[in-house]
Structure 1
């Protein structure tokens, strides 16, 4: 089998767009929001540890390592509930810990835009997700597509089982320019949500509100429900992507109207 050149081009362009999104946004907002690179690195580190290490380890145990929980989570409803909450708890606990630590340093900084930390951290957290969940995965499929077009794919997959090889061929056969567009749309929406969650968490932490962590977990879980429903085959992709597009646009509008560089914190005493 082979992948159409137009599909390969579209997928490559979509991957480049997602890869460049966090870098371009950081450069654009660095001056007006006085972004601190340490906040962005913290966002990258928190996502890398809490989402790709802790959450994956928990999921592997719950879905595969423990027969009792695996049987319970084979029920689509329980799977959706668990999947949404697992992501919400792991990521938001990490975000909360990071922002509590950052708040001590930020309190000593004068004349800084009020949402500077939120945007700096959010770009790091969202950018890490864009790369780990999106860019690196799509680069793998681009490489597989190139190998397939050269007729070398099966040779490079010789260490996999026949079922795994067939699955790779099936996914390659499903690639299309529409798939590339959906990928870029989904990753952009996820990026907006992560910025919004970072602003929500930062404002709650800065205000000293004890209920911010459970609220952030709930909001994050609600955001992940449609994706979990799609994975459980309870909702079609077009409905899920439509919901995410509308929700991301709404969050972007709210961020644009409420997070302005001129809104600054008071000078430290």
Structure 2
């Protein structure tokens, strides 16, 4: 039964990516190239460069355990939130800076890049994780001792402890993360477009703050439900702040009827 919930959660995440992409492509004519650049930006910064740093600094063991996480959890939390913020926001800045050299940045670039970044993150962090859970759940259900022996016991215990609520909570977190990535993108977009580094620094701080709750959960300082509640509050606050810094651009788009050069 748990496998069904995992598949539904995967579809929910996938729909959260595809529906906005199709909508904004058809109605706002966002650039698929910029969407892809958003995905590339996330992949290179988070899955390649940041992972290299993690291997050097954290030195994870074969079973996934990290000494720093248990020996000095606060230092681990600080490192985790800082690394994610620096790598991902810098990738945004580099790509927007390159685009700005080619042509003026448009509002649609912010939407497209944010969607691309959020989509690939949802794929790697959400859908791939859920797919792994689904495969392991099948193995656990079948009870093949030989196959189970090849899987770390901690992973098996984790899957066995999962229920529908925890699965949909994970999907909810990924859906919130997509919105967060779009909103954070506009802070760096504004920093590059207006040559105002203060917005880039703000993006770094906001990113680190938003990642704080999940990082605290990793070291056992916060329960999952509290993390999602905090993330929801942070998203609402981020929507308000982002609308505030984009007030001029939103007003221009409204006055010009969302013209193609907006």
TM-score (norm 2): 0.85
Match of 2:42 in 1: 47
Counterparts of 1:53-202 in structure 2, within 5 Å, are: 53-64=48-59, 74-107=71-104, 114-152=106-144, 154-160=145-151, 164=152, 166-202=153-189
Q: Is the 8 A contact 1:192 1:252 kept in 2?
A: no
C-alpha change, 1:57 and 1:267, in structure 2 (3 Å) is closer
Unaligned runs of at least 5 residues, structure 2 = 61-65
C-alpha change, 1:8 and 1:20, in structure 2 (3 Å) is same
TM-score (norm 1): 0.83
C-alpha change, 1:200 and 1:73, in structure 2 (3 Å) is farther
| In structure 1, distance between residues paired with 2:25 and 2:242 | 16
| In structure 2, distance between residues paired with 1:71 and 1:121 | 34
In the TM superposition, what is the alpha-carbon distance from 1:231 to its structure 2 partner?
A: 1.0
In the TM superposition, what is the alpha-carbon distance from 1:61 to its structure 2 partner?
A: 1.1
Higher relative contact order (CA 8 A, sep 6+): 1
C-alpha change, 1:253 and 1:216, in structure 2 (3 Å) is closer
In the TM superposition, what is the alpha-carbon distance from 1:245 to its structure 2 partner?
A: 1.6
RMSD over equivalenced CA pairs, Å: 2.7
The 10-residue stretch of structure 1 (247-256 or 211-220) with the greater mean CA deviation from structure 2: 247-256
In the TM superposition, what is the alpha-carbon distance from 1:248 to its structure 2 partner?
A: 2.1
Q: 1:214 pairs with 187, 201, 209, which one? A: 201
Match of 2:224 in 1: 237
Q: Is the 8 A contact 1:42 1:121 kept in 2?
A: yes
Q: How many correspondences in the alignment?
A: 250
Q: 2:32 pairs with 29, 37, 40, which one? A: 37
Unaligned runs of at least 5 residues, structure 1 = none
| In structure 2, distance between residues paired with 1:158 and 1:233 | 27
The 10-residue stretch of structure 1 (23-32 or 50-59) with the greater mean CA deviation from structure 2: 23-32
Match of 2:63 in 1: none
In the TM superposition, what is the alpha-carbon distance from 1:256 to its structure 2 partner?
A: 7.5
In the TM superposition, what is the alpha-carbon distance from 1:74 to its structure 2 partner?
A: 3.2
| In structure 2, distance between residues paired with 1:40 and 1:82 | 29
In the TM superposition, what is the alpha-carbon distance from 1:17 to its structure 2 partner?
A: 1.1
| In structure 1, distance between residues paired with 2:83 and 2:70 | 12
